[in-house]
Amino acid sequence: MKIVVLDGFAANPGDLSWDPFQEFGELIVYDRTEPSQVISRIVDAEVVITNKVVLSEEVFSACPSLRFVCESATGYNNVDVAAAKKRGIPVSNVPAYSSSSVAQMVFSFLLEIAQQVAVHSDAVHQGRWTSCKDFCFLEHPIFELEGKTLGIIGYGDIGKKVAAIAVSFGMEVLACSRTYRPELSTDHITIVTQDEVIRRSDVITLHCPQNPESQGLICQDTIAQMKDGAVVINTARGGCVVEQDVRDALESGKLAYYAADVLSSEPPRANNPLLGAPRALITPHIAWMTTEARTRLMNTMLGNLKAFLQGTPINVVNP
């Protein structure tokens, strides 16, 4: 059996091992694959592992040997799952492997905003403390999280982990998801409508999938409904915000901060409006990339492959 990994570098830049996959056949690992290379690389493969490389109807038509697709991520919008199903090809993903890591990133952003660690550390290294007349100095206002309201849009596995951390900091938590289920409220977490999350929150964090409902969710209209000085954190998808509207709100002071691990195109174009925007913290889509999360990813993919070969595929997204 031939197993081809089309874009393995992000998941495994060299610190993990693909060796366990060789137990099941010939393994070829490509760090990256251009669209023009996809068919030639998997035309005789039975198993393909992909993260962002697109597997379209055209690809499936040209690769009749394919028997199984393993998505090396939770999202699978790069695979035409209907085309795969039509040919009896199961597509398996890796659910919830990075939930803890993404929740951690949310609070990395939020704690940096609240405590201004980098600003003060830089000031110390620049000699500001050495020359200070007092035992301390404040370069920028800082604030407590306790008592603030955190609004979560998308109350799935990641959203629930974020909520638990927020409660431990003494924050009030408002959460909403596609289905309004107020009966899921607890003593510290209140299920509300999306409009309420937007209107009442000091901090809004996005954990929803990008779809027609969430496309451009954070925009001029919704920002206008937010509290003055609100903070927005996006570790979901870049397309969930209108980036120019966010920049405008940062420049006007309506938004205090915008923190994002995702942008509308990745890597971003040089003219992306968020690059260079005031009080915008941007990281290069790394929330999922902790060693622990990537290890879980690799192990789950291996489990998906084993289950398929045993005739009982798991984590199938096109049953």
257: which 2 tokens?
């901060």
Other beta carbons within 10 angstroms of residue 45's beta carbon come to 22
Which residue type occupies 282? Answer: I
2-97+291-309 and 99-282 have identical folds: yes
Asked, as a colleague might, if the bond just before 267 is cis with ω within 30 of 0, I would say: yes
Residue 180 has pLDDT above 90, yes or no: no
Q: Output the pLDDT for position 182.
A: 85
> Would you place residue 183 in the very low, low, confident or very high pLDDT band (cuts 50, 70, 90)?
confident
286: which 2 tokens?
């790394």
d(CA 18, CA 27): 9
Report the pLDDT averaged over residues 59-71. Answer: 98
Give me the phi and psi of 54, to 5 degrees please. Answer: -80, 130
Catalytic residue among 32, 266, 269, 292: 266
Residue spans of beta strands (DSSP E) within the chain: 2-5, 26-29, 47-50, 68-71, 91-92, 149-153, 172-176, 189-191, 203-206, 230-234, 255-260, 280-282
> Would you place residue 210 in the very low, low, confident or very high pLDDT band (cuts 50, 70, 90)?
confident
Range in 40-54, 56-70, 171-185, 288-302 with the lowest mean pLDDT: 171-185
Range in 137-151, 171-185, 197-211 with the lowest mean pLDDT: 171-185
Q: Output the pLDDT for position 238.
A: 96
Q: Is 128 among the catalytic positions?
A: no
Q: Output the pLDDT for position 112.
A: 98
The tens digit of pLDDT for each residue in 229-285 reads 999 999 999 999 999 999 999 999 999 999 999 999 999 999 999 999 999 999 999
Q: Is 144 among the catalytic positions?
A: no
Catalytic residue among 237, 247, 294, 296: 237
Q: Output the pLDDT for position 184.
A: 82
Pick the CATH number of 2-97+291-309 from 3.30.420.40, 1.10.3720.10, 3.40.50.720, 3.10.250.10: 3.40.50.720
Instruction: Say whether pTM exceeds 0.75.
Output: yes
* Closest to 286 in 3D by CA, of 106, 152, 116: 106
Q: In the chain, what are the domain boundaries? A: 2-97+291-309, 99-282
Q: Is 266 among the catalytic positions?
A: yes
**What average pLDDT is seen over the chain?**
96
Taking 3-state DSSP, the helix, strand and coil percentages for the chain, each rounded to the nearest 5, stand at: 35, 15, 50
> Would you place residue 179 in the very low, low, confident or very high pLDDT band (cuts 50, 70, 90)?
confident
Question: With respect to CATH, is domain 99-282 assigned 3.40.640.10?
Answer: no
The tens digit of pLDDT for each residue in 85-114 reads 999 999 999 999 999 999 999 999 999 999
